Chains A and B, each alone.
Chain A
Amino acid sequence: MKRPILIAAAAGAYLVAAWMVAPGFYDGIAPQQPYNWVCPPPIAGANSGVAAASGHLVIKVIDGTSDANSAFTDDGQVIVSFLPGAFQAAGNTQVTVDIKPVSPCPNPSDLHFSTNVYLITADASLVQNTNGASPCQPACIGMRYSTLIPAPSFIYRSADANGPWTNIGGSENQQFVIRANTNQLGYFAGGYPANATNKSSGTSQLLPIAVAVLIIGVLLAGIPLAMVRRRRAGAEADEEDDEGDDDEERSTPRT
């Protein structure tokens, strides 16, 4: 009787210890996509030593039309692409774009961010009337994310670090990078609604279901197995087979 109690106590100790760190059990099989966090989640603690980088770009303006170009952070975690004429740049000779990781980290109650929050600014406004001929008008933003946490479903944009945050969509045509078009600059982050299943998976729903199935399986299979075992034990007692089976015992589980 002592052994089941010890196992139950160890299971309890595990549940307490695992509950103290999200998500709990984590064996780190998936190759880590290095990500430079401003505010690393607990699961990323071991690889959070490198600071998130900023980016800077100067776009030429020729005959009142801003040139095509892309701004990106030095660590490649954010890239913003601008098509020709993306800015209202008449009268300017150049447009300066800056990308900066935001600290302290905004933490809206209704969203989970899967990336750092970045502030993207320019000294000219983006044009608002686009013809829609390109999927990247007037600008599009790509945000890389870590594999250590659930993937973002959307990119969110806000004029203020404290929100409100607007969902500007999100698509993924490159692994670990989410993209969206934008006609405004400001604060950007990849994430998903706090009360929703994230895109990386129906697995957010699958995992609880899978564990529930495991528990039900243990309960349902355990009852007949226990009955069979009891019947066998009874039959063995009836036979009063007193042959020693110590050697057998050594190699037979006590389950």
Chain B
Amino acid sequence: MIAALSTRPALRAAVIGAYILLVEWTRALASTIPGAAVPAILLGGGALAVSVVGWPAPKLGLGTSRLGLRILGGIALAAVLLLPAAVRASEAPIIPASLAVVAVIISVAQELAFRGVLYAALDEAGGAPLAIVGSTVAWTAAHALSHPPAFLWAVAAAGLLLALWRWACRDLVAPIIGHVLADLAL
């Protein structure tokens, strides 16, 4: 099985995608149990982070070269993600401060899983277009159980923006920073 995964990129990408979706859907369902939301997020974040095992950092878009530009890109992405909520701040729920650490963990884990590992696996299987579209579709599907249908277009558009950044700049640091800042705000 492991040999088949290492020699067949498409199969590997499918298995990784299925694993990530399974983790995210399980987390979403577990979060509806009273008192289970925080443990579910922590466990789900850990399970997503496990997917990076065996992947070299450069393939995931991680690195410290041109770090200033990566950080700046992350801040710019956060500004774009938060702009609609900032304009309508009175309609925005605010995440409790006690959940800040949890928000950081899950947003980092999601970026590593979707724009890191899944993107890299799809890139190997079918190139950048498949990686961008595939990671965006999986990202949107992962939020289908936790978000009202009306929000999924915005979720998909955010996923597409982050995936395009990952492709255009070969960088995952900026999507991580953007996602973390956005989750810390809402």
Contacts and interface: CB of A to CB of B under 8 A. Distances in A.
A91 interface: no
Contact of A250 (B58, B99, B169): B58
A222 interface: yes
Contacts of B170: 250-254
Given A218-B76, A255-B174, A207 B183 contact: no
B91 A22 contact: yes
A112 B93 contact: no
Interface string A19-52: 1111111111111101000000011111100000
B173 to A, nearest CB: 8
A51 B70 CA distance: 48
Given A29-B102, A200-B94, A201-B94, A7 B161 contact: yes
A21 B92 contact: no
Interface in A171-207: 192, 194, 197-198, 200-201, 203-205, 207
B58 A7 contact: no
Question: Which among A205, A208, A253 has the greatest number of chain B C-beta atoms within 10 A?
Answer: A253
Interface stretch (A79-87, A127-135, A142-150): A142-150
Interface stretch (A10-18, A61-69, A235-243): A10-18
A14 B41 contact: no
* Chain B: interface size category: 35 or more
A42 B148 contact: yes
Interface of B: 31-32, 34, 37-38, 41, 58, 61, 63, 65-66, 68-70, 72-73, 75-76, 78-96, 99, 102-103, 106-107, 143, 145-151, 153-154, 156-158, 160-161, 164-165, 167-171, 173-174, 179, 181-183, 185-186
24 contacts: A11-B80, A14-B80, A14-B154, A19-B84, A21-B151, A23-B91, A24-B85, A24-B88, A29-B186, A30-B93, A34-B34, A43-B93, A46-B147, A46-B148, A194-B90, A197-B90, A207-B82, A207-B85, A207-B92, A214-B78, A218-B79, A252-B66, A252-B170, A255-B72
